[in-house]
Amino acid sequence: MARDEAKTADERIEPITAFRRIKAILGGSAGNLVEWYDWFAYSSTSLYFAAHFFPKGEQTAQQLQTAAIFAAGFVARPAGAWLMGIYADRAGRRAALTLSVALMSLGSFAIAILPTYAQIGVLAQLGLLAARLVQGLSLGGEYGASATYMSEMAGSKHRGFWSSFQYTTLIGGQLTALVVLVVLQHVLSKAALEAWGWRIPFAIGGVLAIVVFWIRTGLDETRAYLRAAAETARRGQTMTLFREHPREFAIVLVLTAAGSLAFYAYTTYMQKFLVNTAGFSKDTGTAIMAGVLVLYMLIQPAVGWLSDQVGRKTTMAVGLAAGAVATYPVMTAIAHSTSALEAFGLVMILVLCHAGYSAVNAAVKAELFPAHVRALGVALPYALANALFGGTAEYIAEWLKQAKMESGFYVYVAIVMLVGAVAAARLRNTNVTSLIADD
């Protein structure tokens, strides 16, 4: 009887046509890009606004304090992941995606209009912290919801390829934040950019988030969620996740620790590393990273396609292992590089290694969990690992630099990546054993 009811419910769910699949992927991708643009606008402009909120001390001390606020945003991400993961599994992927982008818009507009320390004192610092916590809540929910949505919409034959657009747009968001900064650097004087121009990227992000809110309200819901909603009321239960899927939870935690730490070391922190350690100007450092991110973004679908052929487990394990081996010598070489082209090539080595993880991580994590706890299972361990490793990457790097032990950061990144590579090598082949049953 229960089987007949489930079959009847399944028959009422419309099949996913090729057009609807592509529309869903593009719609989810656009929102993901804007969310990450808003998140990375902080790090790309922090060199310009740090002194407005933390006027005391020299440049490294100011950056250390803005890095602390950056890390604080990650503290809110596990809470956002937990709440939004539950919401996505109970109310639907589309509902969670819509709510997350609304919160991000609120946080971006808040930073755009926030008074400085000179105007309201310590309240400016607290306001900046509050805005980043709101953005952290948003992004904590965004990753799990978007990774789940895009993986469920992708289809089994090309899941690696289609789900790679989740990270393509993540990088695209970071790239867009850098491009906006590059444009402002050429349109505004340095004095104007440091005085008020740094607010413009946050205002742009707030407006784009409103547009995406409207787009996301028109997205289709996934068949996997609709089937789970028809078959069980035990959706999005935290204790069910811990009781029935502790191994998968731990795997996502370890993989994300490695992938997130490396990502922030190779991209977000790298922009400051090129300026403060390698000695390039702010404009040159920004231009180098903009070029890196363009290529890094474009190779994601190719690596995703490769994972459909050779296995996502293999792609991820090789990428993390290569990164573990390359990090120390390559970052040492970047620190002593003398030309922008040389630095560009060296950073490209690191992000090419990381692509083995980034292109497939959304699909791998989503494929480990059944639909009724999938969004929560992807989001919560991801956000916890990000808070512990990704969110603290810049702070640890800056702290070690102040302590005259900067190379210790390279070793730290390499060790965590090696642990992640071992965990990836021990995965089952999710190309064959995926728990996403819907095409």
Q: What is the mean pLDDT of each run of 10 residues along the chain (439 residues)?
A: 48 63 78 83 81 73 75 81 88 86 88 88 87 87 82 80 86 85 87 88 90 82 78 76 92 95 91 89 86 92 93 94 97 93 96 95 89 88 88 87 90 97 90 70
State how far the alpha carbon of 235 is from the alpha carbons of 89, 162, 280, 326, in Å. Answer: 6, 26, 51, 42
CATH superfamily of 9-433: MFS general substrate transporter like domains (1.20.1250.20)
What Rg, from alpha-carbon coordinates, does the chain have? 21
State how far the alpha carbon of 334 is from the alpha carbons of 161, 248, 261, in Å. Answer: 32, 36, 18
Give exposure, 119-151, as e/b (b: 16+ Cβ within 10 Å). Answer: eeeeebbebbebbbbbbbbbbbbbbbbbbbbbb
CA distance 147 to 107: 22
- Interacting residues of 206 by C-beta distance below 8 A, sequence separation 6+: 38, 105, 106, 108, 109, 112
State how far the alpha carbon of 153 is from the alpha carbons of 20, 150, 222, 313, 339, in Å. Answer: 9, 5, 6, 20, 44
State how far the alpha carbon of 268 is from the alpha carbons of 123, 154, 265, 286, in Å. Answer: 27, 29, 6, 11
- Is 137:333 a contact under the CB 8 Å cutoff? no
CA distance 199 to 292: 25
CA distance 349 to 262: 13
CA atoms within 13 A on the CB side of 18: 2
DSSP at 276: H
CA distance 394 to 406: 12
State how far the alpha carbon of 312 is from the alpha carbons of 161, 206, 309, 352, 424, in Å. Answer: 11, 35, 9, 16, 9
- Is 15:84 a contact under the CB 8 Å cutoff? no
CA distance 193 to 419: 42
Name the phi and psi angles at 172, rounded to 5: -60, -35
Q: Could you tell me the end-to-end alpha-carbon distance of the chain, in angstroms, rounded to an integer?
A: 25
- Map tokens 């709510």 to a residue: 99
Q: CA 274 from chain center: how many Å?
A: 22
CA distance 360 to 364: 6
CA distance 21 to 208: 23
- Model confidence, pTM: 0.82
CA distance 234 to 69: 37
Query: Helix/strand/coil (H, E, C) string of 359-404?
Result: CCHHHHHHHCCCHHHHHHHHHHHHHHHHHHHHCCHHHHHHHHHHCC
CA atoms within 13 A on the CB side of 64: 14
State how far the alpha carbon of 171 is from the alpha carbons of 47, 166, 341, 351, in Å. Answer: 20, 9, 21, 11
